[in-house]
Amino acid sequence: MTEETLTADPETLFLDFFKLDKYRERLSVMAVSGKKSFVVDFDELLAAETKLAQQLLDNPDEYFEYANRAAKAQLQIEEPEYAEEIGNVTVRFLGLPEAIPLRILGSKHIGKLVMLEGIAVRASPARPLVMEAAFKCKWCGAMSHVTQSGPFLTAPLACSAPECRRKSSFDFIQEESTFIDSQDVRIQERPEDLPPGQLPRWLDIKLLERDLVDAARPGDHVSVVGVARAVAATLPRVGRLRSFTLHLDTNHIDVESKEPDKVLITPEEEKQILELAKDPKIHNMVLRSLAPSVYGYEHIKEAIMYLLFGGTAKYFPDIRIRGDLNVLIVGDPGTAKSQLLQYVSKIAPRGLYTSGRGTTAAGLTAAVLRDKSGGMTLEAGALVLADKGIASIDEMDKMRKEDRVAIHEVMEQQTVSVAKAGIVATLNARTAILAAANPTLGRYDPYRTVGENISLPVTILSRFDLIFILRDVPEKTKDAQMTEHILNLHRTGVSPVEPPIEADLFRKYVSYAKKIKPVLTQEAMDRLKDFYLLMRAASETEGTPVAITARQLESLVRLAEARARVALRDKVTLEDAERAIDIMTTSLEQVGIDISSHQFDIDIIMTGKPKSLRDKLSMILGLITSMEKETGMVDKERLMERLQTEYDILAGDAERLIGQLLKEGTLFAPRDGFIKKT
């Protein structure tokens, strides 16, 4: 760069830079779209005018003025009429060379142009902010204009009319003052940038122009360029505090793509990924790379593999069908459930782990909070922050009943709706949920239904695509292998099993696969259709339980699509459909078997009661109705006798079933030993 360029006027240098075809075109587009600002790529400015770019970073306030004036001059050449109409032009700078971590931002950055990255967790409503206030003197009526800064409205010190010069009594004239739209957004460090054991730091950023307001919503990953400012709070009758708080006056905000393909993949890594996908044993390699330190559990690891890759969401004019899978693991204590969940939250391109005990509905979905100005703001919860990712919810059964209800909508509609304190909003939560729960009685009882074993409502159980039971059953050979595995793990300090795909590449592989949208082939469709119709046909005869519903058919499609994605295929083959059917059958066998009739019964998950139980309950209710007609109230002893002689229901079973009906409120006891229908 020559000596003349360094000493030239900054405004002229900016003007020469804006004469590039790219920026002349952007200025013309700006006029067509009616905007007052346009974006400049900072990298290009740095390449063309290094010294100027450096000065802009060090003295942003001064150099923004030069850039804005140069942009206005260039706009007058391109679109003179529009330039006259809008007055000032704002230049926004995109992508500084490096982002400063939120926890490093400090006193040395005050007044400098910086770039920060984080998650928007809270956004205030847009509010008009006065920039130049007009005041009218009450004595002589003269107008004074005062440029505003700071949180409070500043009146003139004295009247501007020379003959008046009085120092008090001014009226604020709103019509003649100039306002801009402003909004406060709070950004927080991203979970992946957090040092171990640290609380996430946050910073308020101020969006001070109409085109920036509402650019970011809670849950968005943002990259913000702006000037770091420090402000001291003022206390009444004390004055300004010595400690200042930092905030950012935003020049440009860029909402990063919410897609998991945000993970940067180099051309060499892409080549590696495509090489891996060609291997016919790729599914087996991915399985062996999943939590290699956890021994066994092949079918659960397979389900987790499908959950990571996911199916494709379908959008129709009237409805949206989710593509993400939801998996529930119910298991005895000490069966490595939490380890699997922790692992998945780390390996997923966007993963969050939360435990049921300390989780509230607002923390999972969205909280409405009062800000310091008295207004209400919306703060995103865990499921909103895990949008387009995976949320691992451990100890789901330990959550309070009223908090658990919040998950219903997320699991099927994949949105979070809030209607509180005048804020009505719907946020996206396109999240795959991997949940774990412990059996109610400490250990899983194979002689009880899944609904009786877990204290989770049917409404949540039916929304899981796959449910697996982990039982800790002593078995000689398996126990010996597991013992050896665990002891080796402790002795060597490294995993005895070397994963075929190492963790970093695995994360990038998942991210890369998410771009593929597999489509069902005719053979795969026929296979799924045959399986579904076969299972339905088994339920056609009167009195047999319902084996499968349309919800499971959709789950089968998602599983088959996920398997095709693992091999980076855009077609779902017959083999994919077969594996999807296998894993669905495994899940149904563990959960959906009616204990007494040994048939598949989807009603265990859908209604919480197997068909055989519902049949017995309806028999009892039928008998009570006929006995009520004869005697009014029904003698419990007499009822038990008739149930045993006429319906072959033993006294113990009858007692339990009557107890269940009493608990549900279908029956009531008017006095001891007698029952009546409600």
Q: Which residue has the higher pLDDT, 371 or 288?
A: 288
Q: In which element (H, E) is residue 302 found?
A: helix 298-309
Q: Is the pLDDT reported for residue 297 higher than 60? A: yes
Instruction: Summarize the confidence of residues 136-141 as an average pLDDT.
Output: 82
Q: What is the model's pLDDT at position 610?
A: 55
Amino acid 7 reads T
Q: What is the model's pLDDT at position 143?
A: 84
CA distance 143 to 171: 10
Q: Is the pLDDT reported for residue 268 higher than 80? A: yes
Q: In which element (H, E) is residue 658 found?
A: helix 651-664
Cα within 13 Å of Cα(34), Cβ side: 1
Top-confidence range, 258-267, 504-513, 522-531: 522-531
Burial tier of 46 (Cβ tally within 10 Å: 0-12, 13-18, 19+): middle
Q: What is the model's pLDDT at position 4?
A: 41
Q: Is the pLDDT reported for residue 444 higher than 70? A: yes
Q: What is the model's pLDDT at position 598?
A: 42
Instruction: Summarize the confidence of residues 218-238 as an average pLDDT.
Output: 81
Q: What is the model's pLDDT at position 543?
A: 46
CA distance 480 to 496: 15
Q: What is the model's pLDDT at position 600?
A: 53
Q: What is the model's pLDDT at position 197?
A: 78
Q: 45 with 93: CB under 8 angstroms?
A: yes
Q: What is the model's pLDDT at position 439?
A: 82
Q: What is the model's pLDDT at position 261?
A: 44
How do residues 662-675 score in pLDDT, each as one tens digit? 776 677 777 777 77
Q: Is the pLDDT reported for residue 388 higher than 60? A: yes
Q: Which residue has the higher pLDDT, 362 or 577?
A: 577
Instruction: Summarize the confidence of residues 530-548 as an average pLDDT.
Output: 65
CA distance 101 to 489: 36
Instruction: Summarize the confidence of residues 400-425 as an average pLDDT.
Output: 80
Phi, psi at 427, each rounded to 5°: -110, 150
How do residues 616-669 score in pLDDT, each as one tens digit? 777 777 777 777 777 777 777 777 777 777 767 777 777 777 777 777 667 777
CA distance 145 to 523: 76
Q: What is the model's pLDDT at position 51?
A: 87
Instruction: Summarize the confidence of residues 304-322 as an average pLDDT.
Output: 85
Q: In the structure encoding, which two tokens stand for residue 219, read together?
A: 């849950």
Q: Which of 652, 593, 648 is nearest to 616 (CA)?
A: 648
DSSP state letters, 616-670: HHHHHHHHHHHHHHHHSSEEHHHHHHHHHHHH---HHHHHHHHHHHHHHTSEE-S
Give all domains of the chain, ordered by start, each with its CATH number: 3-94 (3.30.1640.10), 107-256 (2.40.50.140), 611-677 (1.10.10.10)
- Cα angle: 454, vertex 460, 463; to 5 degrees: 120
Q: What pTM was estimated for this model as a whole? A: 0.65
Instruction: Summarize the confidence of residues 154-180 as an average pLDDT.
Output: 82
CA distance 111 to 412: 47
Q: In the structure encoding, which two tokens stand for residue 504, read together?
A: 């970093």
How do residues 61-97 score in pLDDT, each as one tens digit? 888 888 888 888 888 888 888 877 777 788 888 888 8
Which of 1-5, 126-130, 346-350 is predicted with the least confidence, judged by mean pLDDT? 1-5
437 forms beta bridges with 330
